[in-house]
């Protein structure tokens, strides 16, 4: 998989979702749900940048392509589950969606730990 392209697409989606929140959701969501949405956008951006950075680390030889694949896969899964559940929670107001958010958080943590392991191993 082309993880650099995946990171770039994730960044573009972050811009789109951030703009949607700023222009379409202001005034429609209460302060709590708006803060949830903004938290999703923030984590989305941080981990999309991480995906792009890690993919470039593999190209420079800092880590193996295999390790980069694991890290990028975990970071993108975290974006889908953590951020996706927060986006959905903010848009629907259904607080039950927050129950799956920690799974995405664990995916983020695992991704960063795999990166640390790959860097130490190299």
- pTM score, whole prediction: 0.95
Q: How confident is the model at residue 122 (pLDDT cuts 50, 70, 90)?
A: confident
The token duo for 119 is 């860097």
**Average pLDDT estimate for 25-53:** 97
Q: What is the mean pLDDT of the chain?
A: 97
Residue range 44-77, pLDDT digits in tens? 999 999 999 999 999 999 999 999 999 999 999 9
């Amino acid at each position: 998989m082309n993880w650099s392209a995946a990171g770039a697409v994730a960044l573009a989606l972050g811009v789109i979702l951030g703009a949607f929140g700023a222009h379409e959701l202001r005034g429609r969501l209460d302060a709590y749900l708006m803060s949830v949405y903004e938290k999703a956008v923030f984590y989305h951006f941080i981990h999309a940048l991480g995906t792009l950075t890690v993919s470039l680390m593999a190209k420079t030889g800092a880590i193996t392509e295999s390790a980069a694949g694991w890290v990028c896969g975990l970071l993108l899964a975290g974006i889908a589950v953590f951020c996706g559940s927060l986006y959905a929670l903010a848009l629907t107001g259904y607080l039950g969606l927050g129950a799956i958010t920690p799974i995405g958080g664990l995916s983020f943590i695992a991704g960063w730990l795999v990166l640390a392991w790959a860097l130490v191993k190299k």
